[in-house]
Amino acid sequence: MDTSQVSNELNSGVLKKILHKSGASPNWSFYTAIVLVFVVEGVIMLIMPELKNLSHIEMALLDSTFLVIFLLPALYLIIYKPLAEQKAAIQKAEQRLQVQLSHSLELKESLLTKSRELTTANNSLESFIYLTAHDLRTPLRTLNGFSEILLEEYSEKLDDKGRSYLYNLRDGSQNMHAMLEGMLTLSRSMQAKLTVQKVDLSKLVQNCVRHLQDSSPKRRVSVLISPNIIAYGDESLLQTVVEELLENAWKFTAHNPDAQIEFTTSKIDSQTIFKVRDNGAGFDIAHKDMLFRPFFLLHKTDEFEGIGVGLALCQTVIERHGGTIWAEAEVGQGATFMFTLNHDASPK
């Protein structure tokens, strides 16, 4: 192997090491430069044959000179330019990231501000509901009391039309009083502090059914309660949900001589669904979107008593526990109320 070959291999090895360290990949610019070195060297040898008489050292220096002259542009194209482009791309990505980060911080601050405003508005609304309902109870009691006095002491001095007006006045004030009590109960459920603990819902249902049976000893209702149904939440608030749903089931099965009420569960994936089912009056499922609105009644008050607060109260409590509540029903075939609770609320 002569000196020129050694020089060529040495220069080629040095270039490969440079390329390897820079992370660049040899491309056609590199190989074209190598070919040009040999082409130009051959042409020069033809034009200047006296160069053939150069010593091996002089020839190696000449080869190195050609390599430097032709490889510098190739090195620029395959090393410096890609690195410069990569650096520019990184800078642009950093700028975009900085802009996105700035927008994220602004969005986070905006969300925090909106959350604080919403919390303040909710607290103000709850306080207004509570104070309004509380302050209106006294004049309503006064109105109801005087209407009772008029009916008891002056009923004989009034004709049938006058007595009818007084009865309507008394019934209206009593109904309004019941609605205010419902508003107060709803407000308290919104403000009450949640104390999460293990709750035996089966036991709560059994106690509630026992009270309902004691209040209506002549009724015969078949009640099925699945045992050992456990949930995690505030026991007092969950008891309210159980009582409201069971009282509704008890009420709406009153006209069915073969009344049936069930409290069971089912599972979808890892989510437990609690169910209260009855075979009572049911309702038109087309009204399901209004079902949980306060004071909305699915049935006439002369058919089934109520003020329409119970289901709204249930929804408030369930949502405070991170769950949802919904219903399925058919007119004359009964209804099934289902709800979930946030399983993440269970103590770890």
Pairing type for strands 334-339 and 271-278 reads: antiparallel
| 132: number of Cβ within 10 Å | 14
pLDDT at 88 over 90: no
CA atoms within 13 A on the CB side of 56: 8
CA distance 302 to 62: 114
CATH assignment, 194-345: 3.30.565.10
Rounded-to-integer distance, Cα 80 and Cα 29, Å:
13
- Considering only residues 204 and 66, tell me which one the structure prediction assigns the higher pLDDT: 204
Mean pLDDT (the chain) is: 77
The whole-number pLDDT of residue 272 equals: 92
Q: What's the Rg (C-alpha) of the chain?
A: 43
Contact 219, 249 (CB under 8 A): no
What's the pLDDT tens digit per position in 176-197? 777 667 666 666 676 677 888 9
Taking residues 126-146, what's their average pLDDT? 71
Tens of pLDDT along 22-78?
Answer: 444 445 555 565 665 566 666 666 666 666 666 667 666 766 666 666 566 666 666
Other CB atoms within 10 Å distance of the CB of residue 226: 14
Higher per-residue pLDDT: 71 or 163: 163
Report CA torsion sign: 222, 223, 224, 227: negative
Closest to 44 in 3D by CA, of 29, 66, 24, 22 = 66
Residues of the chain with CATH 3.30.565.10: 194-345
Residue 5 predicted with pLDDT over 60: no
Report how far residue 332's alpha carbon sits from residue 284's, in angstroms, rounded to the nearest whole number: 9
Rank 145-159, 216-230, 294-308 by mean pLDDT and report only the highest: 216-230
